[in-house]
Structure 1
Amino acid sequence: MTSLHPAPEETLHAERVHHDRCRAALAAMVEGAAEQIVAGEDVSASGADAEVLGYRLRSRAKAMRELPPGPLFFGRLDFAADAPGHGGQHYHVGRMRITEEPTAPPLVVDWRAPVSRAFYQASARDPQGVATRRRFGWAPGSRGDSADLTGLEDEHLGRGESRTSDIVAREIERPRVGPMRDIAATIQPEQDDLVRADLTDSLCVQGAPGTGKSAVGLHRAAYLLYTHPKRLQRSGLLILGPNRTFLGHIAEVLPALGESGVRQTTLLGEVARGPATGADPAPTAAVKHDARMAEVLRRALYARVSAEGVADLAVPEGSYRWRVTAGELARIVERVRAEEPPYAVGRERVRTRVVRRLREQAERRSGLRPASWVRRVERSRPLTARLDAVWPKVRPEEVLAELLTDGTVLDRAADGLLDPDERAALLWPRPPRSHRSARWSPADLVLLDELSGLIEHPEGYGHIVVDEAQDLSPMECRAIARRAVFGSLTVLGDLAQGTTPWAARDWAVQLRHLGKPDAAVVLLTTGFRVPAAVLEPANRLLARLGVTVPAARSLRTDGELTLRPTGDVLGTTVTAVLHALTGEGSVGVVAADADVAGVREALAAAGIEAAGPDTAGARLTVVPASLVKGLEYDHVIAVEPAAVAEAEQRGAHRLYVVLTRAVSRLDVVHARPLPF
């Protein structure tokens, strides 16, 4: 059994008093962080040391000031007297460590601290030294007033007592309006294992709808930042989402966990050298995203390297000339190419080896040469001119523009890789005057990043979290792999939700493109957010999707599915919206992209104001099906599923996404037969 709230009033009072004490301590910590900045400015150290110290102090103070208001703890652990390391101790567990003095025992321990793991993993079968685990119930939407602490549950694990937590269930099922919340209070054991995986481990989480895979990825990021702060301050941590709408949806999770300043962007936001102002027809985009393009680009770049027809090099020094014959220069170029360095590195290696040859000649004739002599020879006009001839400087835009403009260049680079139709699809029908006036498409930006990586390796990250990774093309995966050569990945996705033409059908293939073929693939199939009633039509659709993933299952037996067959889709949609607005939580109306304008007009005509998908915290939102991935609403109204399924190449996968966005109720408005 579990002791359920309402709790004895004296126990609640004691916990409220403790929360007041924590609130006062946190205020002092914030004030102290601000004072440290002032003191740090007077530290006697080198300029560089003072700058680093100041940055760290300002970052810490900023993070503490920007903590969202809310309860300061959500759980408590009371350890048995004989528990190793913590005998007789008790700890409140919250989103950050709170203490009255740096050396004093904490009033609240961070959920990421080693001792907190027992809060998520202990059970009656394996209590891990915990005598009692307490969970606190706070009023919905609480901003942290102690009076909002309304109840608690105690699980006496040391006595073998355990059961499903009502507080956890209510928190998971609580109606949602606005961006994604953190799940620090409700992390399940299998999620905790993933969150606390080592920094060196790359993981792939195949998660069915409602299993919390996005939240797991964000909480793993927060855990790694807490556990390896210095390493990740140096190397960086990156969050990649599928679009700006999704990034807005998850934007508040890391700050709520005390981690600010983490780069969160889309893949194009990370790789783009400029804006995408062009567009590709579908066949052209498909070729550009194909893995074969990596070799096409490599050939096109290195086709510029050639010592054929080059003359001898002569560098004058007074009345004497130091020489490297054309044959020697050709051999140097050939050897450097065989080493396969980045293009820019290869150019400098050729320069260095030619200078070494010249220096050997000069020193044999008249003794050692100083460094100034070497620098002068390195930048001499004859050497630079010959280097430009055999290994010219180049910009990615120049290489790609020539490839997409000149059929002869493309034929040479794509020989044996692309067929004639694919080559024809790549060529620009109306080439720009130069690469400077080119209108690059989103796919072009990925190709430019590939070329940029061939010329000079990009700086990498210590860890990258990649959400909706099933939708990445092979070329997009390569862009991420280049940034994770010396780091690790958390790859999140669901093969059933793959909606791009190049979406992955197998994680093993996708992980090879991402440069982490040995990453463990972990299945999350148990849903905590999406009720079983809502999952039922999506699971029926699953068999049509051509991917091997287990059906989602839910621990929630609540939830409602309402089918609304009609001859007036827009009128019935308005009716469904009016009914939905009588309930709690957010309402999302999802329709095929081409139908969104009509839905908006019908709602406006009925006097119903609806927000767009980028408006945070809206009560009612109208969302195109193409933008709903990763979002959740308490009540979803899916408008004409057949239209969603027919709107694109992988429309059935898109419909699967639409049907799994509701966390309480799903209405399906349709005039046509249902695809599921």
Structure 2
Amino acid sequence: MSDEFLLYRLGENKDNKLRDIVSTIQEEQDRIIRAERNKALFIQGVAGSGKTTVALHRLAFLLYQYEGRIKAERMIIFAPNRMFLDYISGVLPELGVGDISQTTYSDWAIGLLQHEVALSDPSETMAYWFEQPRTHAELEQASGLYKGSLDFKEAIDERLKELADNIVPDVPFMPLPRMELKPEQMQEWHDTDYGEQSLMEKRDRLASRIRRWLESELKTKGIADKKLRSTALSKLNAFVKRMPSYTAVKLYASLFKGKQALTTVPKPIAKTTSERLARGEAAAEDLAALAYIQLRLYGLQNAPFDHVVIDEAQDYSPFQLETLKLCQRTVSMTVLGDLQQGIHGYTGIRDWDELKQLFPDDQADFFELNRSYRSTMEIIEFANVILGGMTGGVKPAVPVFRSGDPVTVEHAGATNGDWLRRIADTARQWQEAGEYDTIAIVGRTARECEDIYSYFMRDGMTASLVLSKQPAYDGGLTIVPVYLSKGLEFDAVLVADAGSDAYGPMDAKLLYVGCTRALHKLTLFYRDTRTSLLEGWHPAD
């Protein structure tokens, strides 16, 4: 594919769905698409590198290359939110992979648990971490980091081992005088016949085997007396009832409260989690452990996945990835993300090795995509300045040589009214110019976005307000909090407030995400003083 044609495609305005860059696949991306099937591919791709499109093309390639051995119905894409799922929904049928399941990890886990719990409103968590700057110390103590760790998984494994060791009763079953089933016999049944099954399947099958033993004994000994048979059955029911029986939620709750509570769980985390579970709810941070326990207790009820795609994987915990491993017979994954966009540091990873360690070296490959096809050279270079040295060892984005308008950073007035008026005037000017099909006003918080939206409505402007529960992406003029903008892209972006109160030194990745949503035009406003994250930026003369 010629560079001239690539530049032409990139210069075109996008519609309101994910840009189709089928014709711009480069050599580095082609290597990923055609990589060996039975591996976990980890792809570090900078903003605008086309990593999502590469993953979708990989699905199409695998279906073609391994026709008859893998099926679209047994492939699955995990996206960061429902809005992003809507954003890519139009692309899959065009690639001939429309039958592939698309979901979020939260929706998948709640379904796996058969809706035994409801997902608590994530807006409270979002508000805590994003409505005001947080310190590094607060981040390190986040409950999500603890619950997503392999240390927490190991603690759960210990509890599951205790449960497994107690499935077989250690006392004989004596339903009637001179009728005895010894523990050794029950242990032999368990070890010989049920070795590969899940814990509760073993328990239920052992209970059925004991019931059949009793029926055989009653028949062999010719016991027809109804009273004796009733006594024997009552004792059977009491004996089976004493065998451990858990749901995933019940076992998980026992880790935080009661005699069996884990002593390693920090008390504030235990208290909050117990209260939430008592309301019949689970937070997103609880779902990896709950899904893992469900799979260990009851096994996978559906066919294993032939291939798994995880987008925005920098926001996944090691424990989440471990649960998805349990849903495959053979490792076959495409795991993609960008550490530089890891804004959910209270749950996600800081280094790809945290996820790669779950696989043997010969089952994991690592690729880097650092060429950015989305934004102009000016926007990419500006965004790289924001990150400064906070790249986490990741190579900064290298722009395709496509020049555009300079990035502008402007003081938007001293009062709230002046600031809102400037935002509305700028958005209206962009719309009237007719150059941009999609425009985003990127706010720092949900409250800020609501204020801008209210002003727009009073001013007679039409816009879409995107908040945490927004199911679809409608294009046009959009107002969105920066933490929900990840994965989306717009022709023109106005960062509503890039002031020092909005973005502190810990918020470089957040501001980077907001700026790299822009394809062609980027403007930042600030009210008092601009953020120190822009100290290294000097406007072009």
2:441–2:479 CA contact under 8 A, matched in 1: yes
1:528–1:556 CA contact under 8 A, matched in 2: no
* Alignment correspondent of 2:119: 276
Work out the number of aligned pairs and report it.
486
**Any residues of structure 2 matched to 1:204-353 within 5 Å, and which?**
204-233=42-71, 236-272=74-110, 273=113, 274=115, 275-277=118-120, 283-304=142-163, 305-306=165-166, 310-314=170-174, 322-326=179-183, 328=184, 342-347=198-203, 350=206
Q: Does the C-alpha gap of structure 1 residues 442 and 453 become closer, same or farther in structure 2, counting only changes over 3 Å? A: same
Task: Give the Cα–Cα distance (whole angstroms) in 2 for the partners of residues 667 and 514 of structure 1.
Answer: 43
Asked if 1:580 corresponds to 2:446, the answer is no
Q: Does the C-alpha gap of structure 1 residues 269 and 210 become closer, same or farther in structure 2, counting only changes over 3 Å? A: same
Asked if 1:489 corresponds to 2:333, the answer is yes
* Letter of the 2:330 counterpart: F
* Letter of the 1:618 counterpart: G
**Offset of residue 351 of structure 1:** 5.4
**Offset of residue 224 of structure 1:** 1.6
**Offset of residue 270 of structure 1:** 1.0
Q: Determine which structure has more spread, i.e. the larger CA radius of gyration.
A: 1
Pick aligned residue for 2:477 from 604, 620, 631? 620
* Alignment correspondent of 1:183: 21
Q: Does the C-alpha gap of structure 1 residues 610 and 203 become closer, same or farther in structure 2, counting only changes over 3 Å? A: same
**Any residues of structure 2 matched to 1:512-591 within 5 Å, and which?**
512-513=357-358, 518-545=363-390, 547-560=392-405, 561-567=407-413, 568-581=418-431, 582=433, 583-591=435-443
Task: Give the Cα–Cα distance (whole angstroms) in 2 for the partners of residues 185 and 636 of structure 1.
Answer: 26
**Offset of residue 312 of structure 1:** 1.8
* Alignment correspondent of 2:307: 463
1:278–1:442 CA contact under 8 A, matched in 2: no
Which range is displaced more, 227-236 or 651-660?
227-236
**Offset of residue 344 of structure 1:** 2.1
- TM value normalised by structure 1: 0.64
**Any residues of structure 2 matched to 1:21-100 within 5 Å, and which?**
none
* Alignment correspondent of 1:668: 524
Secondary structure, in 3 states, of the residue corresponding to 1:634?
strand
**Any residues of structure 2 matched to 1:390-409 within 5 Å, and which?**
391-406=243-258, 408-409=259-260
Q: Does the C-alpha gap of structure 1 residues 486 and 381 become closer, same or farther in structure 2, counting only changes over 3 Å? A: farther
Task: Give the Cα–Cα distance (whole angstroms) in 1 for the partners of residues 29 and 148 of structure 2.
Answer: 33
**Offset of residue 343 of structure 1:** 1.2
Q: CA-to-partner distance for each residue in 1:428-466, whole Å, 9 max, x for gaps?
A: 58758xx78523322333322121011133242000110
1:203–1:490 CA contact under 8 A, matched in 2: yes
**Any residues of structure 2 matched to 1:136-155 within 5 Å, and which?**
none
2:45–2:368 CA contact under 8 A, matched in 1: yes
Q: CA-to-partner distance for each residue in 1:490-532, whole Å, 9 max, x for gaps?
A: 0110011111113211112112347888411101011122111
Q: CA-to-partner distance for each residue in 1:25-57, whole Å, 9 max, x for gaps?
A: xxxxxxxxxxxxxxxxxxxxxxxxxxxxxxxxx
Q: Percent identity of the aligned residues?
A: 25
* Letter of the 2:454 counterpart: E
**Offset of residue 356 of structure 1:** 11
Larger RCO of the pair (alpha carbons < 8 Å, separation 6+): 2
* Alignment correspondent of 2:538: none
Which range is displaced more, 449-458 or 246-255?
449-458
Task: Give the Cα–Cα distance (whole angstroms) in 2 for the partners of residues 661 and 483 of structure 1.
Answer: 34
Which range is displaced more, 261-270 or 534-543?
534-543
Task: Give the Cα–Cα distance (whole angstroms) in 2 for the partners of residues 331 and 650 of structure 1.
Answer: 56
1:332–1:350 CA contact under 8 A, matched in 2: no
Which range is displaced more, 461-470 or 439-448?
439-448
* Alignment correspondent of 1:80: none
**Offset of residue 294 of structure 1:** 1.7
Which range is displaced more, 351-360 or 195-204?
351-360
Task: Give the Cα–Cα distance (whole angstroms) in 2 for the partners of residues 428 and 616 of structure 1.
Answer: 34
Task: Give the Cα–Cα distance (whole angstroms) in 2 for the partners of residues 650 and 511 of structure 1.
Answer: 26
Q: Does the C-alpha gap of structure 1 residues 470 and 612 become closer, same or farther in structure 2, counting only changes over 3 Å? A: same
Q: Does the C-alpha gap of structure 1 residues 381 and 191 become closer, same or farther in structure 2, counting only changes over 3 Å? A: farther
**Offset of residue 231 of structure 1:** 2.6
Task: Give the Cα–Cα distance (whole angstroms) in 2 for the partners of residues 349 and 196 of structure 1.
Answer: 44
Task: Give the Cα–Cα distance (whole angstroms) in 1 for the partners of residues 278 and 427 of structure 2.
Answer: 50
Q: Does the C-alpha gap of structure 1 residues 424 and 516 become closer, same or farther in structure 2, counting only changes over 3 Å? A: farther
